[in-house]
Chains A and B, each alone.
Chain A
Amino acid sequence: MNAPAYCFSKEVIIKNPFGLHARAATKIAMLAKNVKSNVWIIKDDQRADASSIIEILTLACAQGSKVTIAIEDDSDLSILTDLVQLVESGFGE
């Protein structure tokens, strides 16, 4: 894996009771589909491409998990903000 060069990142806590389950991962992936560069979700030493539901699910984020959302290109800053908001709102659940 290439050494990641993130330009912005934000740490968030997964609040919703079922963690990053399929429905939540779908919402993330749909938002991340529109990025210019890459958006990553990082948990401990693992990272997942935020546009892939499968990769997000394999992180197995339970409720209370701390994850970092990172972007590589500053033109994706608004998507980072949207993702952080999505996670912090508990995915509207």
Chain B
Amino acid sequence: MSNTDDKEIELHGISASPGICIGKAYLVGKEGVDVLEKYFIDQNKLQEEVHRFKAAVKSAKNELHGIIKTMPEDLRQDAHILEAHMVLFEDKMLYGRTLETIEKELVNAEWALKIVVSDVKAMFDNMADSYLRGRAADIIHVSDSIMQNLAGAKVENIAAINKRVILIASDLSPAETSQIQLEKIMGFVTDHGGKTSHTGIIAQTLEIPAVLGTDNATSIIKNDDIIIVDGTAGSVIINPTDQTLIQFEERKERYESHKANITRDSELPAETADGICMEVMGNIELPEEVVSVINYGGDGIGLYRTEFQYLSRPDFPSEYELFDRYKDVVEVMAPKPVTIRTFDLSGDKKVAYVSRSGDANPALGLRGIRYCLQKPDAFMTQLRAVLRASAFGHVRILLPMVSCHEEIIAAKNIFNKATDSLAKEGVDFDENIEIGVMIEVPSAAIMADVMATDVDFFSIGTNDLIQYSLAVDRVNKDVAYLYQPLHPAIIRMIKHVIDVAKDKGVKVLMCGEMASDPINIPILLGLGMENFSMNPQSIPAVKSMIRALTVKDTRPFVQKVLKESSSNAIIELVQDTYGSILSDKFYYLD
């Protein structure tokens, strides 16, 4: 027995919040309310039973109210979950139905509540949406706290924990998590719940590691066991050997210093070690996301996707509606640039880059500039709105899905009409506004020299460029392995576009996911790419990667890359050359 007890065991779960912690386990149990008795109530005792239930709900509400009031400042933003619970207490599906069950079936309140809750839970369990399925947990937490008041059981007092521990629980209710003295908690491990569960959200907010949904952590881990939680990998190690402990201590230190470095340095310019400044910008879809671009140290908006305002409505939005939104973003970012991409919608006004059933081949269908040109009025409206916004900061226009030169000419005709009409109306706009095209169709990449004659900049959209060039739909799991950003063909195509751009004097930007992965940065720098745009969260890591490199070294490196004949060979070459810089970025950033 003692032998197996000391054996190192590894559990796997969902990595809900990254980081590593090593410490003693503290189990939160929920005994005392699981065993339920069913008994019948005399008709003349019915009112008493109804009162007992109402009183239990009332004290459960008071408890929760007390918790909300004394909640620490840093958890206030999660208080809405608890406020939802306050309302749930009296939800007619829970409260009303339990009372009905007590009265109709003359059963005790505990039993009535249990039946009602299991019905409601079954309803949620059958829902397709994982977020909604997860809400069954809210109802169970609420009913548990009523149950504890009915049964007179003491609520487990997490607030009394007096040492630094790793919390192990079946699942933690928001009320329980909010009572925890956070400085005492090093990490979370649960049997149930996922990334979007309350425990997951709270762990992310607090930046403590969490591995959730391990199924059986509470039955394997015992109080005071030494455990390691690797929230990045989603693993929990119980009774680690000395060797494992040392390994994880080192990994933990590397992770923490790395994280501290990139967060601290995200405001620093993206300047290479040999003093060349790059631009690292953010991609956004909603105006609100501007805040994260600024927080993560972005140099502007490299891609503002504008489809959102066109969806879920039968008509097209008006010029003023669009202008209002654009102006907000432009003003907040000024004087940094905001690159507004005109709507990339498909024929039925759905977002073109999300493949849908119905259209056999939406990626190759009516979308992007093709759709804009078929709806000249809507396109004109958007261009006028963008132009109006350009009076309030630095705006650039980007045309999506261009596959031939004529499309640029046609789009510029409409653009010229827009500027003429605004000028006649005496409306202010930036007369030198830059117009660029997305290079995401292979024909546009190959014809880059022709495209360059009529535009001010290129923006390489790698997601589509890779999909079209390699003929791979990466959502299709049978072929997803073929989706390789570092495929020699992709690197050559990007090289061609950058070379032409430099030769013709147009700027070039990369706004696809390829720009957000640090592993690609040495090659992109070596190819001469100087402007990157990505999801805001990736900005700090890419900036830190850029600062660790020199352009001088990446140039000859790319010459070697260009001689390789496969993606794997190229990845290996990057790892051999830049592995030491990349090692922790690889492992710790998703």
Interface residues in chain A, defined as those with a beta carbon under 8 Å from any beta carbon in chain B = 13-15, 17-19, 21-23, 25-26, 29-30, 33, 49, 51-55, 57-58, 60, 62-64
Contacts and interface: CB of A to CB of B under 8 A. Distances in A.
A23 B80 contact: yes
A54 B80 contact: no
Contacts of A57: 124, 132, 135
B87 A29 contact: yes
Contacts of B127: 58, 60
B313 A53 contact: no
Q: Which 4 A-B pairs have the closest CB atoms?
A: A64-B312, A54-B93, A26-B84, A22-B84
A57 B335 CA distance: 43
B91 A29 contact: yes
Nearest to A63: B312
28 contacts: A13-B313, A14-B312, A15-B312, A18-B131, A19-B129, A21-B132, A22-B81, A22-B135, A22-B138, A23-B80, A23-B84, A25-B84, A26-B87, A33-B87, A52-B91, A52-B93, A53-B87, A53-B88, A54-B91, A55-B93, A57-B124, A57-B132, A57-B135, A58-B123, A58-B132, A60-B127, A60-B132, A64-B312
A49 B260 CA distance: 49
A29 B89 CA distance: 12
A58 B84 CA distance: 15
A38 B286 CA distance: 35
A25 B93 CA distance: 14
B312 A13 contact: yes
B160 interface: no
Given A17-B286, A54-B93, A55-B93, A60 B88 contact: no
Nearest to A48: B93
B140 interface: no
A58 B131 CA distance: 12
B414 interface: no
B581 to A, nearest CB: 36
Contacts of B128: 60
A53 B312 contact: no
A36 to B, nearest CB: 16
A27 B497 CA distance: 51
A54 B131 contact: no
B311 interface: yes
Nearest to A64: B312
A58 to B, nearest CB: 6
A54 B135 CA distance: 9
Contacts of B138: 22
Contacts of B129: 19, 60, 62
A49 B92 contact: yes
B139 A54 contact: yes
B83 interface: yes
Interface of B: 80-81, 83-84, 87-88, 91-94, 120, 123-124, 127-129, 131-132, 135, 138-139, 286, 311-313
A29 B85 CA distance: 12
Contacts of A52: 91-93
Contacts of B312: 13-15, 63-64
Given A52-B93, A57-B124, A21 B131 contact: yes
A17 to B, nearest CB: 7
Contacts of A54: 88, 91, 93-94, 120, 123, 139
Contact of A64 (B80, B87, B311): B311
Contacts of A14: 312
B91 A58 contact: no
A38 to B, nearest CB: 11
B136 to A, nearest CB: 10
Contacts of B84: 22-23, 25-26, 53
A85 to B, nearest CB: 17
A53 B544 CA distance: 45
Q: Which of B84, B123, B311 has the most CB of A within 10 A?
A: B84
B122 to A, nearest CB: 11
Contacts of A60: 127-129, 132
A13 B312 CA distance: 7
Q: Which of A14, A21, A29, A54 has the most CB of B within 10 A?
A: A54
A51 B94 CA distance: 12
A26 B135 contact: no
Contacts of B123: 54, 58
A68 to B, nearest CB: 15
Contacts of B131: 18, 21
Contacts of A19: 129
Q: Which of B83, B93, B94, B128 has the most CB of A within 10 A?
A: B93
Given A58-B127, A60-B128, 12 more contacts: A13-B313, A21-B131, A22-B81, A22-B84, A22-B135, A23-B84, A26-B84, A52-B93, A53-B91, A57-B124, A60-B127, A62-B129
B83 A26 contact: yes
B123 to A, nearest CB: 6
A54 B124 CA distance: 9
Nearest to B123: A58
Contacts of A51: 91-92
Contacts of A15: 312
A43 to B, nearest CB: 13
Nearest to A55: B93
Contact of B80 (A17, A26, A58, A62): A26
A41 to B, nearest CB: 14
A37 B131 CA distance: 31
B318 to A, nearest CB: 16
A20 B531 CA distance: 38
Contacts of A23: 80-81, 84
Nearest to A65: B312
A9 B84 CA distance: 26
A63 B87 CA distance: 23
A33 B286 CA distance: 32
Contacts of A26: 80, 83-84, 87
A44 B83 CA distance: 29
A22 B311 CA distance: 23
A58 B122 CA distance: 11
A52 B296 CA distance: 40
